[in-house]
Structure 1
Amino acid sequence: MMTITKRFWISLIFSFPMLLGMVMMPFGWMVPGGAWTQLILTTIVMAVSARPFLQSAWASFQKHHSNMDTLVAIGTATAYFYSVYAMFTNQAVFFESAAFVVTFVLLGQVFEERMRNNASNAIEKLVDLQAKEAEVLRDGQLVKIPLSDVVAGDIIKVKPGQKVAVDGVITDGNSTVDESMVTGESMPVDKVVGDKVIGSTINNTGTFMFRAEKVGNETMLSQIVELVKKAQNSHAPIQKLTDKISEIFVPIVLILSITTFLVWYVFLGATLANALIFAVSVVVIACPCALGLATPTALMVGTGRGAKMGILIKNGEVLEEVSDVKTVVFDKTGTITNGKPEVTDIIGDEQQILAIAAGLEESSEHPLATAILDRAKELKITPATTNNFQAIEGKGVQAIVDNHEAFVGNDKLLADVKITKAMEQQMIQLQNAAKTVVFVGMNQKIIGLIAIQDAPKETSKAAIATLRARGLRTVMLTGDNIRVAQAIAKQVGIDEVIADVLPGDKADHVQALQKESKVAFVGDGINDAPALTMADVGIAMGSGTDIAIESGGIVLVKNDLRDVAKALELSKKTFNRIKLNLFWAFIYNVLGIPVAAGLFFTIGLTLSPELAGLAMAFSSLSVVTSSVLLNKAKISTDGKIA
């Protein structure tokens, strides 16, 4: 199948002699062969370059539909076949109108193709960022192998200046790494043993070894490329509106065109040729080809711009929903806070309490369990041996330790067990200090408390202040108790707190908030996935679980809460640009139809079919230019876009 660019060049080459003839006509020069040469040149244009328009229009007609190609096909075919008739009856011909219209319509489509190619090239450049080979430890020796041969579990060496081959975790050494090509963060990031590294980022200063965890299509770069591709090929719901408008618009234009012909030919006594010129001009100027460019070009530029900043917008639907969001709901752990809680206080027999707690939490992956196990390991306390392990939903866990029934959990357990007044007062003091209290008990009695604190991220306060400054309501939704949640909320400036929420109930609370306004939910954990899906806009932190990232409509690669404001503003700007594009796509048609129909003929203002086609091409150019300007948007640290 011939490309649009080839069709355009064929149309331009065979139309050019007729264009030259029009320009040189005042000087007495005409195309050799006259109408016969024009017939041959235009027939080639119609048969080769215009054929897809004719085929598309015919296919739509058979399905009782109409589209943009219908207007182009009818306009050019009318001009062409009338000119054939006029040539054999010794009347004026306007073959050049048919040829020029095809040329200018294709010019507009070339703009669109260039736009899509630029978007594709941007994706290809992302792929090209990958390293081509890696220095891997095999059989005790370091050997260089192609990137495709690297497997999960390989130990890879990275020297200063080299690219990190795949995603993994540093096992030896330290360095600073330039992650700007993936996260958009310009400052190098310090890396030590245990830190994660991202494939395709550049090692700056030190040498380190890391264990490959994600390879091939599983790497973050590959996921980013895939998400950007999907977003750029998606459709915003507003596109459906434009499709509906097109189905109504095309028949109206055809009626206007026929009416124009009848008025001029029947009532005003114009010649058949002049009446047809007015009718064809109406069809051509009314063809809003730019309408098809308005949404996809802005979507491609906006999502591409976001990817460079570490903000992945997954689809066009997100853009439309963002414009009406009034409430932003945050998960606490790992979203507002660092997600790396540490044990700060132990009330009771430290040895006994940590042994029991570590024994019961040994198989858990919860951040609080990790904090307890880390402290036990630090103090070299051996976890207690447990039997008959059982989870208590929403409360904690229990098991048999030394023939006694032991349990570890949150304050929901207090309804079922006994706690002394002194220990209860200590619990309140710890919770008021924004510390989460874990209860350790035996035989239906609390024997100790473990206080764990997960401090807010440095950027959380500034991020939430920016959202509030824009008039957005901020809410924290957490399974933690009300005192700890309120203490954290006070530190970072959250408006409202919903605490003591069971994991399975988060989505229900989001749904309740949606009765008041549209809601964006920001989270990172497995238990956040239902809420991310339920929210009008789900924003997943890039450091979160795969299932959370999959559930979110926007992914923040840098795991920086300040990017929430940037993501919302960029999405809103992109959607507003789509609406601006739709305005420009229609304004040419609305203003041009009366001129093309000859309403201003008496003052000498007319629009020939070829000029109508040129105006239509400039309509497409204006839409593409409008979309490209999104690339020039400047984003400040407070999330505002210039």
Structure 2
Amino acid sequence: MAVLTCYLCEQPVVTEVPGDGHIFCCHGCRELWRLMGDEEIKELKSRPGVNWENLRESITTPTPVLPLNADPKTVTIDIDGMWCASCSILVEQVLTRMPGVLGAQIDFATSTAQVAMDASTTSSHELEQAIIKLGYDAKERETSDEELEFDRDLVLLRRFGISVVLTIFVMMFSVPVWSGYLPQFPPTLRESLEYGLWALATPTVFFSGWPFLRGAWSSLRHGVPTMDLLISIGSLSAYGYSIYTIFSGGKYLYFDTATMFITFLLLSRNLEVGTRNRAAGVVRMLSRLSVKSAWVLRDGQEIQTDISQVHVDDQIVVRPGEKVPVDGTVIEGHSAINEAFLTGEAVPVDKKVGDIVYAGTVNSTGRLVIKALRVADDTILAQTSRFVKAAQGAQGQWRKLADRVLRIFVPSVLVFGLLTFVYWDLVAKAGTAPALLNMIAVFVIACPCALSVATPLAVLAGAQRLGGYGMLLRSDDALERASDVDTVIMDKTGTLTTGQMTLTEFWPMNPEIMQLVGSLELASEHPIAAAVIKYMEQQHITYLPIEQFTEEPGWGIKGQVAGHDVHIGQLDGTEDLSSEMKEKLNEWQEEGRTIAKVVVDEAIQALFSVEDQPRAHAKEAVSSLAHQGIQVIMATGDSEEAARVMAQKLGITRYYARQKPIDKATLVEELESQGHHVAFVGDGINDAPALVKAHLGIAMGTGSDIAIEAGHLTLTRPNLMSLVDTLTTSKQVTRIIKQNLLWALFYNALALPAAALGYTGPFIAAVAMLLSSAFVLANSLRILGFSPKRYILGTSVALGVGTSLALIAWLGL
């Protein structure tokens, strides 16, 4: 069957929005198409898929000019009614074209707009009106994100509390209705009871149930059926029919059904909010770690500067007890840094000149001066927060499946409920009241709460669990990718080993050659270079000026020093060596050392060897991965002998030596062409091609910026067991998502026919829906270590007491 798709975003169309001969999924897509023009759209369609970030860049916007008397201000506006990515782009483009707006950024996942404006030219009210004219609701946010979330949660809890109290009274006063004694009451008493129940039910339905009614109105206005529409139809049907019964002199009232329905649904919503808050704690923690200002050294003076005004290469002073404001390199001082949020390790790490420190970590003891490497949104802290938030709304394959099911499910249930009413009222001749109750039961029991939260809760819990392992998300689909991995390729130096090389021997000990080597290595950032520099300092070698320098990833370095052409790199086996040099080379190769040659003016003048030690838990990690059935491969640019010795130490049976960057990427490509899902773990510039090529790229946090940028995940803790835990957790997340989706579909497959056939009333349906949602919530929380068994006994006792009391009340005892 053909599926009608939107002309702009190519998403399935639920409700057609026509425009100039085309069909769109929403008015946002239609207005954006009119804004861009057909030619740009056709050019966009020629590309493989719609890239919304490229689309943003393809739309030209006027460059704002800030007058001298400007009053710059940033406001956050909450937007309701955005249905797809094009809606956010439409709002962004309209706002940026307004007079006085300096820039706008729309977050579709959180439905918010951050607008930088000139308050002397425009106002937040004008911004709100511009958004409202597009067909959305908009209101300026006057408090912080955390305060706003707390206020929203508190309001929802307050609505639930009022609903519980009023529902208890409604249930108490509804006993004569259940027992059938209502018609026997004196008219005055009967009217008092009926109007009293009406008065108690009204705040429950319209105040406590307002979130559902508001959602239903928005659903009707935009022509997109949602679960709020089902809830509202169910509660208002019971409420409205009860009012009709009062004036028509009927026998039964259903105010208790409407109030119980709202109460149980609010309980479910509060449980969902509590679960999300627990799972999203890592995001709030990360936002609290960021700082607002930094002490910047300018002309020898420490000046407190807003963090947005700090730039790369600025020198920043961090005093004891302060948080590090940016990622940077220590250029002065020595201190212990608490990196618990980054690595999970509570013990502070000693930092000295040359070491890297990260934004959000805490300086424990000494004064430090750091040189900024990454600032503002480029810090590891900011990137982590951004990608964790993105993971909450990431459209992985399971999330997409759930969304596709929901698009069909909600309108199908709406039709199914109406058919249920028609059948019981017109075909079975059961009467309006039973038909209405069965219809309400269908709407209640089919409420897709469990289906809608099945994926996002599990993903969010997984993201928090990975943070505890020191693994930071850098890609929205990293969890999904990690769950498929069956082969892990690891770089040697800096990944399987500590990367802290030691120069063990330099032969022959020629001071002039050593001076050339030390001078050239001074310009390199490779771990071998650090070992050479340390050795040369111990030998009291002075340095010469460098005239040229080139680094060849995977091979070595070359340049000009004091008029000499100097090459330092690996041996390739074709060198013409003296007998003494060959003897020394064979000796080192048997010991598995990493060996480099020194070529001066096209003649080999020296050899030197370096050694590296395996990471503490590297062998345990390799063994654990193999035990899980994951193939472990080592790919290194080092010599065959050095690779063989290290592989034997770690228990790796398959390894590749003398691998250049392209060779590593080709190896990844070959394995994936054989049907494997490959994870590559590396830390250097030479690993970047393989990190990008791999199904899952994992960069060591101590590695180069290029490697970190290329990976889907960043491992900040120097413990490779975190890699094992990450792959295990990712598989658990995928397994739980499958369980949640299967449960939700299985539940609805049984519950819908039961409700339509009259086996469950609205009350039982609400309880069933609540238990279904509770199952999904508890199952997702297992990722965080939650054990449902702890609560089964207490819940059983509470349910037993409640059932006993209800039975006593029913029997009139």
2:315 to 123, 130, 153: 153
Q: Residues 393 and 402 of structure 1: is their aligned pair in 2 closer, same or farther, counting only changes over 3 Å?
A: same
Q: Is the 8 A contact 2:280 2:464 kept in 1?
A: no
Structure 1: gaps spanning 5 or more residues: 600-605, 635-642
**Partner residue, 1:264:** 424
Counterpart CA distance in 1 for 2:332 and 2:549 is 37
Give the aligned partner of residue 639 of structure 1: none
Which aligned pairs between 1:303-382 and structure 2 lie closer than 5 A? 303-314=463-474, 317-382=477-542
What corresponds to 1:637 in structure 2? none
Question: Which position in structure 2 is the counterpart of 1:625?
Answer: 778
Aligned partner letter, 1:211:
V
Partner of 1:409: 569
Structure 1 residues 547 and 34 mapped into 2: Cα distance closer, same or farther (>3 Å)?
farther
Residue type matched to 2:397 in 1?
P
Correspondent of 1:456 among 599, 605, 614: 614
Within a 5 Å distance, the mapping from 1:221-620 to structure 2 comes to 221-314=381-474, 317-384=477-544, 387=547, 395-399=555-559, 405-412=565-572, 415=574, 418-420=576-578, 422-516=580-674, 517-598=676-757, 606-620=759-773
Corresponding residue for 2:272? 112
Q: Is the 8 A contact 1:260 1:279 kept in 2?
A: yes
CA gap 1:400/1:316 in 2 versus in 1, 3 angstroms? closer
Structure 1: how far apart are the matches of 2:273 and 2:746?
23
Q: CA deviation at 1:518?
A: 0.8
**Deviation digits for residues 582-621 of structure 1, max 9, x if unmatched?**
344345433433432336xxxxxx4221331232223223
Structure 2: any 5+ residue segments left out of the alignment? 1-138, 140-151, 788-813
Using the alignment, how far apart are the partners of 1:524 and 1:570 within structure 2? 23
Question: Is contact 2:318–2:363 with CA below 8 Å preserved after alignment?
Answer: no
Compared CA separation, residues 64 and 125, structure 1 to 2 (3 A) = closer
Q: What SS does the aligned partner of 1:208 have?
A: coil
CA–CA distance in structure 1, aligned partners of residues 774 and 568 of structure 2: 66
In structure 1, distance between residues paired with 2:714 and 2:224: 39
CA separation in 1, counterparts of 2:705 and 2:563? 40
Q: Give the letter aligned to residue 450 of structure 1.
A: F
Greater RCO (Cα-Cα under 8 Å, separation 6 or more)? 1
Residues 321 and 401 (structure 1), Cα distance of their counterparts in 2 relative to 1, 3 Å cut = closer
Helix, strand or coil at the partner of 1:527:
helix
SS at match of 2:697: strand
Does the C-alpha gap of structure 1 residues 154 and 55 become closer, same or farther in structure 2, counting only changes over 3 Å?
closer
Q: Distance in 2 between matches of 1:293 and 1:617?
A: 13
Q: Distance in 2 between matches of 1:524 and 1:113?
A: 39
User: 1:243/1:223 Cα in 2 relative to 1: closer, same or farther (>3 Å)?
Assistant: closer
Does the CA contact (< 8 Å) of 1:179 and 1:189 recur in 2?
yes
CA deviations over 1:197-220 (Å, ceiling 9, x no partner): 55665677xx53322345766665
* 2: CA distance, partners of 1:397 / 1:527: 13
Counterpart secondary structure, 2:488 = strand
Query: Of the candidates 228, 237, 249, which is equivalent to residue 69 of structure 1?
Result: 228
* TM-score, normalised by the number of residues in structure 1: 0.83
| One-letter amino acid matched to 2:741 | L
Spell out, residue by residue over 1:22-44, the C-alpha distance to the aligned partner (whole angstroms, 9 max, x if none): 24655979886454555565555
What pairs up with 1:211-222 in 2 under 5 angstroms?
A: 211-214=369-372, 221-222=381-382
- Counterpart of 2:647, as a letter, is A
For the 8 Å contact 1:174–1:192, the answer to whether it is kept is yes
Take 2:583 and 2:240, find their aligned partners in 1: how far apart are those partners?
94
Per the alignment, residue 261 of structure 2 pairs with 101
Q: Distance in 2 between matches of 1:343 and 1:253?
A: 72
Contact map agreement 2:661 2:688 (CA 8 A) in 1: no
How far apart, CA to CA, are the structure 2 residues paired with 1:111 and 1:338?
45
Distance 1:573 1:546 in 2: 30
How far does the alpha carbon of each residue in 1:61-83 deviate from its partner, in whole angstroms, 9 at most, with x for none? Answer: 67665432343233334434444
Take 1:172 and 1:222, find their aligned partners in 2: how far apart are those partners? 25
Task: Determine the structure 2 residue equivalent to 1:21.
Answer: 173
| Matched-pair contact (CA < 8 Å) for 1:418–1:445 | no
C-alpha deviations, 1:529-577, integer Å up to 9, x for none? 3322322222222222333333333222212112110111122222323
Separation in 2, partners of 1:89, 1:633 = 52
Pair 574,380 (structure 1): closer, same or farther in 2 beyond 3 Å: same
Work out whether residues 137 and 156 of structure 1, in 8 Å CA contact, stay in contact via their aligned partners in 2.
no
> Which stretch shows the higher mean deviation, 224-233 or 450-459?
224-233
Whether the 8 Å contact between 2:547 and 2:562 is mirrored in structure 1 is: no
Give the superposition deviation at 1:175: 6.6
| CA distance 1:346–1:302, change in 2 (3 Å) | same
Deviation per residue, 1:172-201 (Å, 9 max, x gap): 776766543442224454556655555665
SS of equivalent residue, structure 1 residue 434: coil
In the TM superposition, what is the alpha-carbon distance from 1:341 to its structure 2 partner? Answer: 1.8
Q: Secondary structure at the residue paired with 2:367? A: strand
Asked whether the 8 Å contact 2:391–2:477 carries over to 1, the reply is no
Query: Residues 290 and 170 (structure 1 numbering): CA distance in 2 closer, same or farther, change over 3 Å?
Result: same
Q: Which amino acid aligns with 2:765?
A: A
- Deviation of the 1:335 alpha carbon: 0.8
Distance 1:597 1:353, change over 3 A: same
Q: TM-score, normalised by structure 2?
A: 0.67
Counterparts of 1:199 and 1:52 in 2: how far apart (Å)? 39
Is the alpha carbon distance of 1:135 and 1:113 closer, same or farther for their aligned partners in structure 2, counting shifts above 3 Å? same
Assess, with a 3 A threshold, how the Cα gap between structure 1 residues 45 and 157 changes in structure 2: closer, same or farther: closer
Relative distance call for 1:551 and 1:7 in structure 2 (3 A) is farther
Shift of 1:233: 4.3
Q: 1:446 to 1:103 in 2, by over 3 A?
A: same
Give the length in aligned residue pairs: 620
Distance 1:64 1:199, change over 3 A: closer
State the SS of the aligned residue for 2:698: strand
Specify the SS of the correspondent of 2:170: helix
**Offset at 1:325?**
1.1
Equivalent pair of 2:295/2:305 in contact (CA under 8 Å): no
Q: What is the alpha-carbon root mean square deviation over aligned residues?
A: 3.9
Answer whether contact 1:521 1:539 (CA < 8 A) is retained.
yes
| 1:512-535 residue CA offsets vs partner (Å, 9 max, x unmatched) | 222231111112223333322322
C-alpha contact 1:482 1:500 (8 A) present in aligned 2: yes
SS of 1:295 mapped into structure 2: helix
Distance 1:31 1:439, change over 3 A: farther
Tell me which moved more, 20-29 or 546-555.
20-29
